[in-house]
A and B are shown apart, each in its own frame.
Chain A
Amino acid sequence: MGDGTVVTPDVGFVRSLQEAGADTLKKCYQCATCSVVCELTPKDNPFPRKEMLMAQWGMKKALASDPDVWLCHNCNDCTKYCPRGARPGDVLSVLRKSAVAENAFPRFMGTIVGNPSLILLALALPILLFGAFIGVRMSSGQPLFPEGQVVFDKFFPIHYIDPIFITTTTLVMLSFVISVSRFWNGLNTQPYKLLAYGRFLPSFIATIKEIVFHNKFQKCDANKERTTAHRLVMFGFIGLFITTNWAVFHMYVLGWRSPYSLTDPNILALFGGSKELVFLAYLVFKTFGNLSAIAFLLGGIMIVSSRLKDKGFVSKTSSFDWLFASVMLILAVTGLLSELLRVAGLAVPAYTIYFIHLIFVFYIIAYLPYSKLAHLVYRTVAITYSKMANRDIM
């Protein structure tokens, strides 16, 4: 205060926030009820009141490097008690989206993925890419939908999938390295500039613990049920990630064509010739994968349904939010459906749904640094940073 800073309001930015769902932000009259009822805010320079003011002035740069918007877990206690209907919970959620777009590398990707009306453009890339690969396969005279037993490998060979996704993942990681270092440099300024980096590891470990145990979510008062929903989605997602890597391990390290096949002599030999053990391992693998998928789907349904029922103070949900929730739901539904249709032997629907599933898998992986899912990186970084800066002590 009083250090003579001159703020030039960025009206265009304010308008873009309002259009993205923070239409109530100008109603705030700075009473600070929100900062008081918030259970997650630090005591020094608490949020979200100051973020509301920064948003009203359109302080884009400062908001993109504000760690506090990431400490917010959208409990909505602030929105419940706000005397003006300014909905700080919704505003902070839009501020996180804008921080992702602002730190994104390359920036135009942040703009495309961040804008729900450009969803078709974003989907066009995987559709064309995967369509081209199927075209290559068909150029050797194979039909679009292969005959016989439903095997996805025949429709879209694994040796196409892996190079695509390995390349994509590498690009995603590169993008994250650049965006996160931008973000970090933004964080590491006054008033929270770090004096030393020695606290990184303990802070990081504390952050991961907090995320796994959902400690912050559990402090929410107005909107408690989100804890369970987020747990299901998060652990479902992690489970599916493990399943994928488990399968990759089978294929490339062990050289299996199909997981735990009872007729494969190499696999039998690995389990000492016991068919029972192989079958048991098969069951464990399948159960783990399917349970993860079901948890993911259930959590997704919970999130969407809790947003649909209006409790007045629950997030009104911007279209960016809806887009992300829909993508996640489509991902879960198409995944489980392609499995069921495959088992049922319905070739055409199975292959079609599988194709859609691939498109959306690509969407969430390739666009990870620009979509709402980027929060898993930004939030982890911001909480770790805040702990290092002695700011976020739970």
Chain B
Amino acid sequence: MSDNKSILVIGGGISGLTTAIEAAETGYNTIIVERNPYLGGRVAQLNRYFPKLCPPYCGLEINFKRIKQNPNIKFYTMAEVENISGKEGNFTVQVKLNPRFVNSKCTGCNMCVEVCPVERPNSFNFGMDKTKAIYRPHEMSFPMKYVIDSTACPGTQCSKCVEVCKYNAIDLNMKAETLQLNVSSIVYATGWNPYDATHMDNLGYGKVKNVITNMMMERMAAPNGPTKGKIVRPSDSKAVKTVAFVQCAGSRDENHLAHCSSICCMATLKQATYLRDSSPETKAIMYYIDLRAPGKYEDFLKKVQASNVIEMIKGKVAKIEEDSETQDPILVVEDVLGGKKIRQQVDMVVLATGMEPSIKGKGTGVQLDENGFVIADGQQAGVYAAGVAKSPNDVMTSLQDATGTALKGIQSAARR
């Protein structure tokens, strides 16, 4: 690969896709490198997303179609950047392609899954259900190819999938490859991971069974999720009547993430509407420190408040225990406006965990701020960042940023 007018985009989430596609549609070559076996990133895991509350595939399908139609775009899944050298206009990038064990002859007939004897926790659904060792990442995954989890698959000694596959699509001896790319500019669109809720020892996640995270809630509410869209609690699969949302679970906290993740307030308001839509009697209680509903989102806040689906209490939840008999979580909070320390028993707690930049602590040589986000200015010439890699934001803002970043990449490519 020696087309040094290419723009490399690291990360195939909604921001990376946007940067790559927008740049490609002006005639430049773009390359997307994605670590997961599918494109779409965190947005693919949502049930619905702002601003129009559509299912994620409204937006993602259009982008995938644009990729398919455009020969200027190349993408690699299960790929990780290992090394970057050179300068603007002439970067050499080493990319490791992890083996998928399934080639492009796969038709998605699902025969392999039926014979596979091994299961793995489904990471797409945050471990709430299981898949076989050979699986499709999710129902709408693109590229439409199955994949084998090498940590779960026993390998050639089993080979049941190979035997059953009529299309010779499975190769258990597939090895990792290394790829050299020559590109003119690099865009970090590495996105975020949900903050690990087990770090907050006082909020009970991992110990109190009916405490989940907001991203788990998205999967649960999604029709293709582990519960097929039914919102039930983990301990006994009972439909929930009262759900507490704990804001700033790890965000704006020097002991965890010092920054405001900016999206969690709106995510909670959105999830309150999931509850309302699933059963009108369900009650949501939101415990917050400050509400962040900027710009147009204020209208959404007003609408949700007016519809009486959510009660809002000012005060941060700092302790969650489990009622041993009912397995109900009991949360302790000071109702700041009412001046009382209260204990509230609910069916389920959703921790509004925030965004931890994926690039944090990876030692890539790119300049990060104290919270681990890529600093917008002051990078080496030809190196840029887009979306949440740069700052915690919603999809809408990330897309605007990603489109702007496409122009930056183009300038680097055109300067030569």
Q: A1 near B: Cβ within 8 Å?
A: yes
CB-nearest residue of chain A relative to B289? A31
Are A46 and B334 neighbours in the complex by a CB distance under 8 Å? yes
Nearest residue (CB) in A for B200 is A81
Whether a CB of chain A sits under 8 angstroms from the CB of B253 is: yes
Complex partner residue of A81 from B289, B318, B332, B336, CB under 8 angstroms? B318
Contact A36 B340 (CB under 8 A): no
Shortest beta-carbon contacts, A-B, top 4: A83-B253, A36-B318, A32-B334, A31-B316
A84 and B255 alpha carbons, distance in the complex (Å): 8
Among A29, A32, A44, A82, the most chain B Cβ lie within 10 Å of the Cβ of A32
Question: What are 9 pairs between A and B in contact, CB < 8 Å?
Answer: A36-B333, A37-B319, A43-B340, A46-B334, A81-B202, A81-B318, A83-B252, A83-B254, A85-B254
Query: Interface range on chain A: under 10, 10 to 19, 20 to 34, or 35 or more?
Result: 20 to 34
**Partner of A49 from B254, B290, B332, B336 at Cβ < 8 Å:** B336
B62 within 8 A of A: no
Known: A31-B289, A46-B341. 7 other contacts (CB 8 A): A29-B252, A29-B290, A32-B315, A35-B341, A36-B316, A36-B318, A45-B340
Residue numbers in A under 8 Å from B339 (CB-CB): 1, 44-45, 50
Asked whether A243 is an interface residue with its Cβ less than 8 Å from the other chain, the reply is no
B256 to chain A: closest residue by CB: A83
Nearest residue, chain B, Cβ from A43: B341
Closest chain A CB from B329 CB (angstroms)? 14
Does B337 make an interface contact (CB < 8 A)?
yes
Instruction: Tell me if B374 counts as interface (CB < 8 A to partner A).
Output: no
Contacts of A41 in B (CB 8 A): 341
Q: Which residues of chain A are within 8 angstroms of B337 by Cβ–Cβ distance?
A: 1
Residue numbers in B under 8 Å from A45 (CB-CB): 339-340
Chain A at the B interface: mostly helix, strand, loop or mixed? Answer: loop
> Which residues of chain A have C-beta atoms less than 8 A from B333's C-beta?
32, 36
CA distance A42 to B315 in the complex (A): 16
CB distance from B243 to the nearest CB of A (A): 20
Closest chain A residue, CB of each to CB of B253: A83
Q: Is B388 an interface residue (CB 8 A)?
A: no
Chain A positions within 8 Å of B341 at CB level: 35-36, 41-44, 46
A81→B318 CA distance, assembly (Å): 8
List residues of A (1-56) whose CB comes within 8 Å of B's CBs: 1, 29-37, 41-46, 49-50
The residues of B that contact A32 with a CB separation of less than 8 Å are 315-316, 318, 333-334, 336
- Residues facing B in A98-153 (CB within 8 A) are none
Residues 95-111 of B, flagged 1 when their CB comes within 8 A of A and 0 if not, give 00000000000000000
Most buried by A among B255, B256, B319: B255
B340 touches A33 (CB 8 A): no
Chain B's closest residue to A86 (CB) is B254
Are B315 and A31 in touch, CB under 8 angstroms?
A: yes
Within 8 A of B (CB), among A46-93: 46, 49-50, 81-85
A24 to chain B minimum Cβ distance, whole angstroms, is 11
Contact with A along B211-249 (1 / 0, CB 8 A): 000000000000000000000000000000000000010
CB distance from A149 to the nearest CB of B (A): 62
Q: Does B39 contact A (CB under 8 A)?
A: no
Cβ of A81: which chain B residues have Cβ within 8 Å of it? 202, 255, 318
Q: How far is the CB of A374 from chain B (nearest CB, A)?
A: 29
Q: How far is the CB of A345 from the nearest CB of chain B, in Å?
A: 58
Q: Which residues of B contact A35 (CB under 8 A)?
A: 334, 341
Q: How far is the CA of A284 from the CA of B333 in the complex (A)?
A: 53
A35 to B316, CA, bound (A): 10
| B317 CB–A CB distance under 8 Å | yes
Q: How far is the CA of A138 from the CA of B268 in the complex (A)?
A: 83
Set of chain A residues within 8 Å of B256, measured between Cβ atoms: 83
Query: What residue in chain A is nearest B316 (Cβ atoms)?
Result: A31
Q: Judging by beta carbons under 8 Å apart, are A36 and B336 in contact?
A: no
Interface string of B300-344 (1 = CB under 8 A from A): 000000000000000111110000000000001110110111100
B2: shortest Cβ distance to chain A, in Å? 50
A83 touches B255 (CB 8 A): yes
A44 to B337, CA, bound (A): 12
Instruction: Report how far A81 CA is from B332 CA in the complex, Å.
Output: 14
- Nearest CB on A from B264, distance (A): 14
Q: What A residues does B316 contact at CB under 8 A?
A: 31-33, 36, 83
Q: A1 — which chain B residues lie within 8 A by C-beta?
A: 337, 339
- Shortest distance between the CB of A191 and any CB in chain B (Å): 9
Cβ-closest chain A residue relative to B333: A36
The CA-CA distance from A340 to B339 in the complex, in Å, is: 57
Residues B256-301 near A (CB distance < 8 A): 256, 289-290
Q: Give the nearest-CB partner of A30 in chain B.
A: B336
Assembled-state Cα–Cα distance A33/B333 (Å): 8
Residues of B with C-beta under 8 A to A43:
340-342
Interface centre among B252, B289, B318, B319 (most CB of A within 10 A): B318
Closest to A37 in B: B318
> For B254, what are the chain A residues with a Cβ–Cβ distance below 8 Å?
82-85
**B342 — which chain A residues lie within 8 A by C-beta?**
43
Instruction: Give per-residue flags for B337-355: 1 if the beta carbon is below 8 A from chain A beta carbons, else 0.
Output: 1011110000000000000
A46 and B319 CA atoms in complex are apart in Å by 15
Q: How far is the CB of B338 from chain A (nearest CB, A)?
A: 8
Task: Chain B residues near A36: list those with CB within 8 A.
Answer: 315-319, 332-334, 341
Chain A residues closer than 8 Å to B290, beta-carbon distance? 29
